[in-house]
Amino acid sequence: MKRMNRMLLGMAALTLAGIGTVADTHKADIVETAAANGSFGTLAKALQAADLVNTLKGPGPFTVFAPTDQAFAKLPPGVVEVLLKPENKEQLRSILTYHVVPGRVTSSDVKKITSAKTVNGQELRISFVKGVVGINEAKVTKADLLASNGIIHVVDRVILPKSDQLPQVAKIDDKLAEFESKAVDTRRDALFLESKRRNPQLSWETHSNKLGIMKDQINEMGQMLSALEAMKSDATLLQQRAIEAARPHLEDLARRVEAAIKWLNEDRRATTKAEYRDNLHGIWTSADRLYDDVDTILDYKEAQHRLKGLSAPPTGR
């Protein structure tokens, strides 16, 4: 940590060739200036989580291309939550320091250069077209917020280094949706057997066929769940809850289906026995709870996203 901070401060002491200077007439540093602006709440949390606050309060000078709260909101849902986790601290530092250039780069300086090396070590592409400054894929929406130890330019999106990929939140969503779809199918088959469990006319072949289908579905869900569990560090809190909720129900369902198949293999008349019929009810209960728990959590997640959208202020035309 100390080594990283020394490196940042050391790089900040450098100046870019051909770049002018601005007098240090402002008392507030970069962090204080951003806080006073009111549009950088997420950035402030990210700097805190990445242990970069004290660094950007240092002597500098720094030039910061600062993403607004709206810029962070353009990332896939849940990504910011995951990046703020302690285990993702180094990735977050890599992303944030890619927004920092050592020295002072004013808006007039930016128009004269095509690239700038960041504290991250990688270069930013800089363009000036039709009066708009571009920083990689982002645009500068407000320039030259002066601070005692540098300068801030506001950008409309988070800029990602080449080596950094966003946490796989969207991919986890897709896998959970696929898992939920399988849970729906399994629940349907369990409901069929539950509705027929007291029907002695239902052949053992029908029981065997449905249980065999369910066994295959459970095995597929088991593989999906193992893959999801391996991705938990990149999952949001609600995604983690959905993954954790699935495991006990799936294991109970697997045990009950395996037991039913064993009984049928040993005695085709097992379908008429109370123990077998009670187990069918248990299969339905486990299948229903598996689907219900995962679906409830995912529905709550979707509701949260919709509410966030509704909370956005209206835009005039």
- Domains of the chain (ranges; CATH) run 2-155 (2.30.180.10), 169-311 (1.20.120)
Nearest to 205 by CA among 95, 213, 46, 190: 213
Question: Contact at 8 Å (CB) between 102 and 248?
Answer: no
CA-to-CA distance for 248 and 49, rounded, in angstroms? 33
Question: Contact at 8 Å (CB) between 160 and 97?
Answer: no
Please compute the mean of the pLDDT values over residues 95-105 and round it to a whole number.
90
CA-to-CA distance for 236 and 88, rounded, in angstroms? 12
pLDDT at 84 over 80: yes
Please report the pLDDT score of residue 18 as a whole number.
32
Query: What are the pLDDT digits (tens) for 102-111?
Result: 988 888 888 7
Query: What are the pLDDT digits (tens) for 206-250?
Result: 999 999 999 999 999 999 999 999 888 777 777 888 888 899 999
pLDDT at 317 over 60: no
Please report the pLDDT score of residue 26 as a whole number.
54
Task: Quote the tokens at residue 279.
Answer: 């187990």
pLDDT at 257 over 70: yes
Please report the pLDDT score of residue 316 as a whole number.
44
Tell me the average pLDDT of the chain.
Answer: 80
CA-to-CA distance for 299 and 238, rounded, in angstroms? 10
Please compute the mean of the pLDDT values over residues 122-147 and round it to a whole number.
87
Q: pTM, whole model, 2 decimals?
A: 0.57
Looking at the chain, the whole-number percentage of residues with pLDDT higher than 70 is 84
Strand 150-155 vs strand 100-102: parallel, antiparallel, or unpaired? Answer: unpaired
Question: Contact at 8 Å (CB) between 176 and 239?
Answer: yes
Please report the pLDDT score of residue 165 as a whole number.
59
Query: What are the pLDDT digits (tens) for 150-206?
Result: 899 999 989 888 765 566 777 788 888 889 899 999 999 999 988 887 777 788 899
- Assign 252 a pLDDT band (cuts: 50, 70, 90): very high
